Amino acid sequence: MRSDGRRVDQARPVKITTNYNKHAEGSVLIEVGDTRVICTATVEERVPPFMKGQGKGWVTAEYSMLPRATSVRNQREAAKGKLGGRTMEIQRLIGRALRSVVDLEALGERSITLDCDVIQADGGTRTTSITGAFVAMAIAMDKIVRERNLNRFPITDFLGSLSVGIIQEKPCLDLNYEEDSKAKVDMNVVMTGHGKFVEVQGTGEEAPFSRQELDALLALAETGIQEMIREQALALGPIAERIKGASHAARS
């Protein structure tokens, strides 16, 4: 049993509030336990310079934590005048993961920026951001498809993410902050609705891990992420059907 009473293979409760922001083309407030992230999707009718003239779109992400998202206040990166390494690593990860399920040709020369702002942190902020950003992106995509009459839905599969780790020799799913601090091995996994891996990032700074441990962690992640994807589908309602259709088409 874990400190908050969960089983080792049990994720925290998830709550996804769609259309949380009145300005953004897509938005959610996602809560996984006490971790809360606002994800907004912004559509712009232009692509970055390195993508120009290829007839393809672009998806990118930015990540930030409010100073008091954590138990000790963090100095703002805007005040420091630069982004930290952790922030850059996370926002590169989010963007890369989302692009893996986007059909950039179908999107056309426009870009979607996913802003993931952590308003309260309790472990798993990067995986929660990915899961939430996917939903915000899907809402924005649906808006584009309807307003611009795209002939393909530009999302090819669902995408969810969770962390796993080894605490006192036991592989556990979805670590909270307290658990994360004690874990010897920490792994973030991103998977598609069809159960393929998009990102596997495992780190054993405290203690290297064996192949068997790796296998156990991946198995936990697989089950947990499919549960996250079911929550995404519920939150998306009819849009979920469009993703499933596009996903089916992409595979046939």
Residue type, 113: T
Which residue, 53 or 85, is less far from a copy of itself as judged by CB? 85
Residue type, 29: L
Q: Which residues bind a copy of itself (CB under 8 A)?
A: 21-24, 27, 34, 38, 40, 42, 44, 62, 64, 66-71, 73, 76-89, 91-92, 96-97, 99-100, 113, 115, 117, 119-120, 157, 187, 191-192, 194, 196-211, 214, 218
Instruction: Name the minimum Å distance from CB 220 to a copy of itself.
Output: 13
Q: Cα separation of 188 and 224, whole Å?
A: 12
Which of 220, 100, 229, 114 lies closest to 163, judged by CA? 220
Instruction: Name the minimum Å distance from CB 236 to a copy of itself.
Output: 19
Buried b (16+ CB within 10 A) or exposed e, 111-146: bbbbbbbbebbbbbbbbbbbbbbbbbbbbbbbebbe
Q: Cα separation of 95 and 59, whole Å?
A: 6
Q: Cα separation of 136 and 24, whole Å?
A: 9
Which residue, 7 or 15, is less far from a copy of itself as judged by CB? 15
- Dihedral over Cα of 246, 247, 250, 252: its sign: negative
Instruction: Name the minimum Å distance from CB 192 to a copy of itself.
Output: 5
Q: Cα separation of 6 and 113, whole Å?
A: 35
> Using an 8 Å Cβ cutoff, are 158 and 247 in contact?
yes
126 annotated among ligand-binding-site residues: yes
Which residue, 96 or 152, is less far from a copy of itself as judged by CB? 96
Instruction: Name the minimum Å distance from CB 132 to a copy of itself.
Output: 14
Which residue, 38 or 240, is less far from a copy of itself as judged by CB? 38
125 annotated among ligand-binding-site residues: yes
Residue recorded with tokens 């498809």: 145
DSSP secondary-structure letter at 183? Answer: -
Instruction: Name the minimum Å distance from CB 119 to a copy of itself.
Output: 6
Instruction: Name the minimum Å distance from CB 222 to a copy of itself.
Output: 8
**Greatest distance between any 2 Cα atoms in the chain:** 55
Which residue, 15 or 80, is less far from a copy of itself as judged by CB? 80
> Using an 8 Å Cβ cutoff, are 146 and 89 in contact?
no
Which residue, 199 or 227, is less far from a copy of itself as judged by CB? 199
Annotated binding site: 86, 124-126
Output the known binding site for phosphate: 86, 124-126
